[in-house]
Amino acid sequence: MSQRTCLSVILAAGEGTRMKSALPKVLHQIAGLPMVAHVVKAAEAAGASDVALVIGHGADEMRRAAAKFAPEAETFVQDKRLGTAHAVLAAREAISKGYDDVLVMFGDTPLIDAQALATARRKLAEGAAVAVIGFRPPNPAGYGRLIEQAGRLVAIREEKDCSEAEKKIGFCNAGMMAVAGKHALQLLDAVGNKNAKGEYYLTDIVEIASAQGLDVVATEASFESALGINNRAELAQAEAIWQQRRRHEAMLSGVTLIAPETVYFSHDTEIGADTIVEPNVWFGPGVMVASGAKIHAFSHIEGAIVASNCDVGPFARLRPGADLRNKAKVGNFCEVKQAVIEEGAKVNHLTYIGDARVGAGANIGAGTITCNYDGYSKFFTDIGEGAFIGSNSSLVAPVTIGNGGYIASGSVITESVPDDALAFGRARQKTIPGKGKELRERFASAAAAKKKAAGTDH
């Protein structure tokens, strides 16, 4: 089958009115990726070399989104909503190029398993003209039934047209199918619209192909894989299923998830074996965690690289561009953005490091911030190897702290500090005997007068 060419036609023109959203339905996200992009990935994993996206509502927005997740895909506009067969024929130009296999898929089925698609394609390689993907829902009510005879699929019957015996069939139509390229256009063109809605139904090609003596078969996907999304409740259901799958996969690959149900992964999260993830950790897009790291509870990580044996959190935030090298530590209530924390460096607590480099073995005291933004531009802070930054220090960029530099606590540093130098950037302390008592008495008197005045007003 690897020698066979394959086109995936993905129907993504629906308005999705039940989503109650201005955003096209198929652009709503699962694990940080538009649901239609999940469908594209599944098609590609099943061997589809080319993708045709049939779009309608929000066409310009769809094209912009597709340029990111499927830059090579062709887009075709379905101007009128005249049924699923009509939608597929919007991609006539692509279908006519003569692919061996044509996969017809829906952009709102983000959990479709690539293996189910590959199985349908394999049936085409074995001689079938059409392979319909079916599934067995817990309750088949409302679904079209797959009618089989002697191992062949002879019809897809909508429930309202089913006999009592047919209604008992639990094998239902998932909507997706594989069609032999050499038959695709003539089968689609043969679909009529003599029905109550006057629409052209893709499912009709089953009976058309059977009437022509072509081989039509059904394959089976899991209920979860065939799940379609029509509203935000179903979107949340699909998200939960995707997350459950990904957590299971992570644990089987050697990652410890202490409370798996509380950890959120993105579609592209990479996490190495022997990493320990504590409860309530969120991995946004673009995260790579190497082996042996420990991610403590309530940490939020996005667009970041975490090297082997790093220690992150609890309550840490790694923003895009954070790059933690081997054995680095970013502790509780710290934020790192667009910065390299080199090997063994420690950013322990209550600290912001942005647009910076923290050298190997450096120690950043509590309450330290890099002042990297002046309201218009960002500036860089370079902290050398083995430097020690005292608590509650402000490093005003652009500034360099040399290797082994020592910054006294409470300093505001506006000038670069040479290697091994000690820098103070604070006013000299002044102590006035008795002044504290005087201030307390003055403040107490003012507070009493205010309280008395408030009582008089009442």
Write the CA distances from 150 to 128, 154, 175, 205, integer angstroms.
Answer: 15, 10, 22, 19
Mark whether 403 and 383 lie in a shared domain. Answer: yes
Q: Is residue 87 part of a domain?
A: yes
Q: Which of 163, 197, 220 is the last residue of a domain?
A: 220
Mark whether 237 and 165 lie in a shared domain. Answer: no
Tens digits of residue pLDDT in 17-35: 899 999 999 999 999 999 9
Mark whether 392 and 258 lie in a shared domain. Answer: yes
For residue 234, what pLDDT is reported?
95
Q: Is residue 76 part of a domain?
A: yes
Q: Is residue 114 part of a domain?
A: yes
Tens digits of residue pLDDT in 103-132: 999 999 999 999 999 999 999 999 999 999
Tens digits of residue pLDDT in 375-407: 999 999 999 999 999 999 999 999 999 999 999
Tens digits of residue pLDDT in 206-246: 999 999 999 999 999 999 999 999 999 999 999 999 999 99
For residue 55, what pLDDT is reported?
94
pLDDT of residue 2 exceeding 60: no
User: Crossing angle, helix 35-45 and helix 114-125, to 10 degrees?
Assistant: 40
pLDDT of residue 457 exceeding 60: no
Mark whether 256 and 285 lie in a shared domain. Answer: yes
Do 43 and 103 form a contact (C-beta atoms < 8 A)? yes
Query: To which residue do tokens 């509870």 refer?
Result: 297
Q: Is 401 exposed, middle or buried (0-12, 13-18, 19+ CB in 10 A)?
A: buried
Tens digits of residue pLDDT in 27-60: 999 999 999 999 999 999 999 999 999 999 889 9
Q: Tell me, what CATH number does 191's domain have?
A: 3.90.550.10
For residue 456, what pLDDT is reported?
58
Mark whether 309 and 371 lie in a shared domain. Answer: yes
Which of the following is catalytic: 38, 86, 300, 349? 349
pLDDT of residue 455 exceeding 80: no
Mark whether 215 and 236 lie in a shared domain. Answer: no
Q: Is residue 436 part of a domain?
A: no
**Mean pLDDT estimate for the chain:** 94
Mark whether 256 and 182 lie in a shared domain. Answer: no
Q: Is residue 371 part of a domain?
A: yes
* Containing structural domain, residue 319: 232-423
Distance CA 208, CA 110 (A): 29
Q: Tell me, what CATH number does 276's domain have?
A: 2.160.10.10
Number of domains in the chain: 2
Q: Which of 188, 220, 252 is the last residue of a domain?
A: 220
The yes-or-no answer on residue 57 being catalytic is no
Cis ω for the linkage preceding 398 (within 30 of 0):
yes
Mark whether 258 and 212 lie in a shared domain. Answer: no
Q: Is residue 450 part of a domain?
A: no
Q: Which of 220, 249, 268 is the last residue of a domain?
A: 220
For residue 159, what pLDDT is reported?
85
Mark whether 172 and 295 lie in a shared domain. Answer: no
Tens digits of residue pLDDT in 298-346: 999 999 999 999 999 999 999 999 999 999 999 999 999 999 999 999 9
Residue (of 74, 24, 32) closest to 51 by Cα position: 74
Distance CA 104, CA 86 (A): 12
Mark whether 327 and 398 lie in a shared domain. Answer: yes
Mean pLDDT of all residues in 165-169: 91
Mean pLDDT of all residues in 148-171: 89
Q: Is residue 226 part of a domain?
A: no
Mean pLDDT of all residues in 288-299: 98
Q: Is residue 56 part of a domain?
A: yes
Mark whether 15 and 148 lie in a shared domain. Answer: yes
Mark whether 271 and 363 lie in a shared domain. Answer: yes
Tens digits of residue pLDDT in 128-147: 999 999 999 999 888 999 99
